[in-house]
Structure 1
């Protein structure tokens, strides 16, 4: 078993929803957290306050992970505030849905910048600056495995995330760093609920194997497992956290 130093976790897209749940869970695990956010400074501050309320430590750092210097600034904050980072959770992403035949070029750029480019830049920074025997978790989607119509561009970006995850796991293995992805499915998140009525959400829940939607805290639980010291032999995997949907 490898014992990690009590260094910080960096969580991107942590101002709300799944990202906030992950940040709070890792803080409860005893890690100080760098709360990364792109635009919602007020909501990132809510995440920091929530962590402080139960005795955790956190600092918010703004910036789009698709921009060149944001990943470096996240690691700079971890170094300055907490003595370095042992965990990176690359959660930031944008969902713009629609059929490939009518998909907008600007939407394509937004989706790939946030998920694929942003994850790439976070992985590149982690390769240089994450502590040895650290943990990296990226975020994909269960729908990559089901090729859901109307999600082609979004899922293509997430498929890129999964491929980079598997390759990075091999490249960082000599330093004892594990790299895995979680792939949520049918989760009661803001992104999933966007544009759906309560009746539509209820129907989706009834169609699931366990006749309910997952909770964002259950995604955070999976990330906690993958970032734990006892997870040292799990690497290069895509863990589909979906209640048995696929």
Structure 2
């Protein structure tokens, strides 16, 4: 049974892997025995994350802005200098932008869409040859897109582009799953509230309300998100493709527990 959920010896790419949910996923995969390639826009963040994650296992870090097609191509070229196969691609790199409706800037909208949607599409298509090469009949390669419960629930904050982008990711996941099967399985994980740097300010001011969005009364832990990704990366999930797995304490399925001030709404998480 342990082999059913094993990712030992697999090679994984985790975009946006230097902080937050991406770091949790990279750390979990390393602990499970995978070799991991991470990326971030900032070189110093890559260096710091590589130092810490390198204490666990074999990790490579590259500074690339995946909102740009050329940078996606360069990242794939850098990965190819180390390996000719990739078993797992986790499209996690993402951005959010909050502003009132009447003031929402084109630049913010474009930044979010370019990274959260176009970046997912470009990384998947450019890495496809390496994913194809890694696949075997009883264990296809995997693409796991990090979505959000904001794709299906109205967010608590005015993050219009973010929620729209994550809804697009969900549909893109299904479209890519149809295109790439059976060699590559494509699924998405939709996190609820996790206490990350992106959510830190909101936790400071609305912590009880955020925890109240879930039926389990807490935010997600690193083990919660890593476990979901490891499942979707392992032999255990070879009959699953085109799915969106909510990892949100029940917020999007059972509805939130009502607490004082709770507007019964969703929340940006990744």
**Common topology (TM > 0.5):** yes
Count of residues in correspondence between the two structures: 242
Task: Name the structure 2 match of 1:126.
Answer: 127
2:198 maps to 191
Q: What residue is the counterpart of 2:40 in the other structure?
A: 37
In structure 2, the residue matched to 1:24 is: 27
Q: Partner residue of 2:243?
A: 237
State the alpha-carbon separation in 2 of the partners of residues 46 and 82 from structure 1.
Answer: 23
More moved, 82-91 vs 137-146: 82-91
Partner of 1:111: 112
Indicate the residue corresponding to 1:157 in structure 2: 165
SS at match of 1:30: coil
Contact 2:7 2:230 in 1 (8 A): no
Provide the residue aligned with 1:166 in structure 2.
Answer: 174
Distance in 2 of aligned mates of 1:207 and 1:159:
19
Query: Do the aligned partners of residues 4 and 109 (structure 1) sit closer, same or farther apart at CA in structure 2, a change above 3 Å counting?
Result: same
Mapping of residues 59-208 of structure 1, within 5 Å: 59-130=60-131, 131-132=134-135, 133-148=140-155, 150-175=158-183, 177-193=184-200, 195-196=201-202, 198-208=204-214
Q: Secondary structure at the match of 1:48?
A: helix
Q: Deviations 1:163-213 (Å, cap 9, x if unpaired)?
A: 1111101111032x11111111121111122x3252521332145311111
* Cα RMSD (Å): 2.2
Structure 2: how far apart are the matches of 1:8 and 1:78?
A: 11
Give per-residue Cα distances to partners, 1:27-60, cap 9 Å, x unaligned.
1121111111112x22222222223212x10111
Is the 2:150–2:166 Cα contact (8 Å) retained in structure 1? no
Check the 8 A contact 2:195/2:203 in 1, yes or no. Answer: no
> Residues 148 and 52 of structure 1: is their aligned pair in 2 closer, same or farther, counting only changes over 3 Å?
closer
After superposition, the Cα gap between the structure-2 partners of 1:140 and 1:3, relative to the gap in structure 1 and judged at 3 Å, is closer
User: Do 1:27 and 1:57's aligned partners in 2 also have CA atoms closer than 8 Å?
Assistant: yes
SS at match of 2:54: helix
Contact 1:111–1:157 (Cα < 8 Å) also in 2: yes
Structure 1 distance, partners of 2:128, 2:213, is 41
Match of 2:217 among 211, 217, 222: 211
Deviations 1:200-240 (A, max 9, x none): 21332145311111124421221111111221111101111
Q: Distance in 1 between matches of 2:194 and 2:222?
A: 6
Query: Which of 7, 11, 15 in structure 2 is aligned with 1:8?
Result: 11
Shift of 1:19: 0.8
